[in-house]
Structure 1
Amino acid sequence: MTPEDVLPQPLLEKIRGRAADYDRNNGFFHEDLRDLAEAGYLKLFVPADDGGLGLGLAAAAQCQRRLATAAPATALATNMHLVWTGVAHVLKARGDHSLDFVLDEAAQGEVFAFGNSEAGNDSVLFDSRTVAEPLPGGGYRFEGTKIFTSLSPAWTRLGIFGKDAAARDGAGELVHGFITRAAEGYRILDDWDTLGMRASQSATTVLDGVEVPADRIFRKLPVGPNADPLIFAIFACFETLLAAVYAGLGERALTLGVENAKRRTSFKNGGRSYAQDPDIRWKVADAAMAMDNLYPQLASVAADVDALAEHGPQWFPKLVGLKVNATETARRVVDLAIRVSGGSSYFRGSELERLYRDVLAGMFHPSDDESAHNTVANAWLGPLDS
């Protein structure tokens, strides 16, 4: 099944046609989400026997790349659901069935989101500022604040984690679980008013003692880096699908740059198209070569996840390297596209103006530039001397 089969052109154009209004009104993509659900898009990773499309990570990444050419914010928020279902798929392929229920519930129409990010927590998945208090019977009560919770208006299942500081003889333990929309003890703030990616509505979620019963707690891990398959699965799906979104954004910017270069004419050169200008041609070629370097990297990393390839300690450098390359390449290509498109792209409401704002979000997603370079340096050079 190709991305064109999953997202036929009429559906893609319908989604593209809404993106500007969502951005202008700072509104959530309710209509896009409805159409994507009806098309089976939220079931990309759900097995075909359960009514899903039964795709792997490589195919899902190409679908996300295609969706992002129409509406990057829609694709970015949809990523959060696809990451959780992708994590369940990746674990299942490796014999770990702890998140099979995620695929089962996604098959029934549940929408999953991430409630992991915390302000000031640069340890990301390896520590938490959220308190996880154990309850009788094996459940936990969570107190903390989660930021960038995409899909805030629509999720029905939110993955959260926090730290039980007293566990493991005081070393602490990170507790992962899911809450449902009907749970009590959490608040979603109306605070999403950002420069770009506005339709994602990634609002702050405050956990005010929300309880997760024992049967919704799916992992307890030590504080700090560890080799648990869950960590690999989250990084593999998050970084790869994120890279796919920014690859699609860059792809669209290049297309617009080419169209604008052909459309614009030079007064001083007798009305000749700017597509004949050597400097413009250089910039378009520069953007095209940058994108051509990104596409195979995205395809290769995703295919290796599907193939259960063994990269050992090089897996995380590959994943974070892909993310940084995708977000930085997309940012560079958008900039080049604006340069060849002229002053009209600077006006509010142009598609390139929106892409310029959307692409800046890439620098804030984990792993950020500094963390990624540290990961890669450690893999190749070893850790810094203490």
Structure 2
Amino acid sequence: MTHLLSDELLATLRERAADYDRDNAFFAEDLADLQAAGYLGTMVPTALGGAGLSLRETAREQARLSAHAPATALAVNMHHVWVGVGRYLHERGDSSLDWLLAEAAAGEVFGFGYSEPGNDLVLLGSRTEARPDGNGGYTFHGRKIFTSNSPAWTRLGVLGLDPSGGNGRRGGEPRLVHAFVTRDGGGFDILDDWDTIGMRASQSRTTMLDGAHAPADRVLRLLPPGPSLDPYVLGIFTSFEVLLAAVYAGIADRALELAVEAVGRRTSMKTGKPYSQDPDVRRRIADMALTQDSVWLQIDGITRDLDASASDSTLDRGAGWFRATAGLKVRVTEAARDVVDQAVRVSGGSTYFNSSELGRLYRDVLAGIFHPSSDDSAHSTVAQSLLGPLD
């Protein structure tokens, strides 16, 4: 397994994490260090200037990063998602995002501007209006939420709906417009509204789009609203779900490590022995470890198949990837919450103080329930795969 992040760098990021959280500050120094380490080009093929790591290797690196600085990992994740989409297409003979891969390797920072308030369709619909510019490009008008890397992105992937279907006239079939806008192109306003209980350094602020422009060569797809097996959509969905799962698995890995340290350090007045000798505590620790063993078997298995499916069609699950990766995200984030909760229980009341790293992880891990796919959405996806669509 290839590692891009040195132990020394990770230790530095861990030292900053508490300060970023306390100050509700963006991870600017971390980002600069990660750029210098070539981490933004992790999945970019070597021929395009990157490190050439697979999705599986990147998931492992993201978990290592998250175990040291969860909010930094979550924000960088959104950049990696776009690189993952580019790599997914590139490996399947589609060069439409090769420009993105090259720019990521050169240090550009990509943001993910898809989430919207009240939009539970996610990739299947949009409240944002995409207006044709008459030359094949679009301007975007709407409200995006949870836009990680808000202070630093230089390229923002956006989704909007063109009711005219791209012809600028009434009566056309509506089309979802997937495109990229640039920071220096303007047409947007970023609100200073990120004051959350966890994942604070990500600064995933609200973005108001009011004329942000994507020229024709940065309009990547015009797709009908609703489910799609377009490789672009599959690339977004699978990369997002898998890499998100890895971030929360990394949090749980660290929680287990901290719990083991705590029970070896704490001593019971009742028995005079360390809590590591308490049968109930030992069972909790073992249960946490068993959970993490299962989590990593799932992440490694799905990412291995995704990586290999580019060259081995027998491993390509098609629409089954939606079920596989949505289920993975939900199982891993729920497991991570349980592991962190167990770690808090065995580590004692000191975790209730803001100075506690485990207490911070307890707040950070909660964010996992808000990312798509939600628990309800994943269950709906699985039910449809087994029972067919609702009448």
**TM-score normalised by length of structure 2:** 0.96
Q: Name the structure 2 match of 1:312.
A: 318
Residue 79 of structure 1: CA displacement?
A: 0.4
Residue 125 of structure 1: CA displacement?
A: 0.6
Residues 126-147 of structure 1: CA deviation (Å, up to 9, x unaligned): 1100001111111111110000
Residues 201-242 of structure 1: CA deviation (Å, up to 9, x unaligned): 000000012221111111111111111001110011100000
Q: Is the 8 A contact 1:171 1:223 kept in 2?
A: no
Residues 9-33 of structure 1: CA deviation (Å, up to 9, x unaligned): 1111001110000000000001111
Q: Is the 8 A contact 2:177 2:219 kept in 1?
A: yes
Matched, 1:102 2:100: yes
Matched, 1:328 2:326: no
Counterpart code for 1:73: A
Counterpart code for 2:152: A
Counterpart code for 2:132: P
Q: Name the structure 2 match of 1:167.
A: 165
2:53 and 2:238 map into 1 onto residues whose CA distance is 15
Q: Name the structure 1 match of 2:296.
A: 295
Residue 170 of structure 1: CA displacement?
A: 4.2
Q: Name the structure 1 match of 2:378.
A: 372
Residue 364 of structure 1: CA displacement?
A: 0.3
Residue 381 of structure 1: CA displacement?
A: 2.2
1:102 partner SS: helix
Counterpart code for 2:252: G
2:186 partner SS: coil
Counterpart code for 1:246: Y
1:272 partner SS: coil
Moved more, 165-174 or 217-226: 165-174
- Uncovered stretches (5+) of structure 1, i.e. residues with no partner: none
Q: Is the 8 A contact 2:229 2:318 kept in 1?
A: no
Q: After the TM superposition, which parts of structure 1 deviate over 4 Å for at least 4 consecutive aligned residues? A: none
Q: Name the structure 2 match of 1:345.
A: 351
1:312 and 1:227 map into 2 onto residues whose CA distance is 7
Q: Name the structure 2 match of 1:280.
A: 281
2:173 and 2:277 map into 1 onto residues whose CA distance is 65
Residues 162-186 of structure 1: CA deviation (Å, up to 9, x unaligned): 0001228444100111111101210
2:99 partner SS: helix
1:23 and 1:107 map into 2 onto residues whose CA distance is 29
Residues 43-82 of structure 1: CA deviation (Å, up to 9, x unaligned): 1012223331111101111110111110110000000111
Matched, 1:139 2:137: yes
Residue 348 of structure 1: CA displacement?
A: 1.4
Q: Name the structure 2 match of 1:257.
A: 259
**Could you tell me which of 3, 21, 28 is aligned with 1:23?**
21
Residue 312 of structure 1: CA displacement?
A: 3.1
Counterpart code for 2:79: H
Counterpart code for 2:343: A
1:214 and 1:314 map into 2 onto residues whose CA distance is 32
1:106 and 1:78 map into 2 onto residues whose CA distance is 12
Q: Name the structure 1 match of 2:125.
A: 127
2:141 partner SS: strand
**Could you tell me which of 196, 199, 214 is aligned with 1:197?**
199
Q: Name the structure 1 match of 2:312.
A: none
1:35 and 1:348 map into 2 onto residues whose CA distance is 26
Identity of aligned residues (%): 59
Counterpart code for 2:388: G
Counterpart code for 1:255: E
Matched, 1:356 2:362: yes
Q: Is the 8 A contact 2:255 2:340 kept in 1?
A: yes
Counterpart code for 2:2: T
1:312 partner SS: coil
1:286 and 1:152 map into 2 onto residues whose CA distance is 38
Matched, 1:48 2:49: no
1:113 partner SS: strand
1:312 and 1:2 map into 2 onto residues whose CA distance is 28
Q: Name the structure 1 match of 2:82.
A: 84
Counterpart code for 2:237: F
Q: Is the 8 A contact 2:49 2:102 kept in 1?
A: no
Q: Name the structure 1 match of 2:30.
A: 32
Q: Name the structure 1 match of 2:229.
A: 227
Counterpart code for 2:254: R
**TM-score normalised by length of structure 1:** 0.97
- Uncovered stretches (5+) of structure 2, i.e. residues with no partner: 310-314
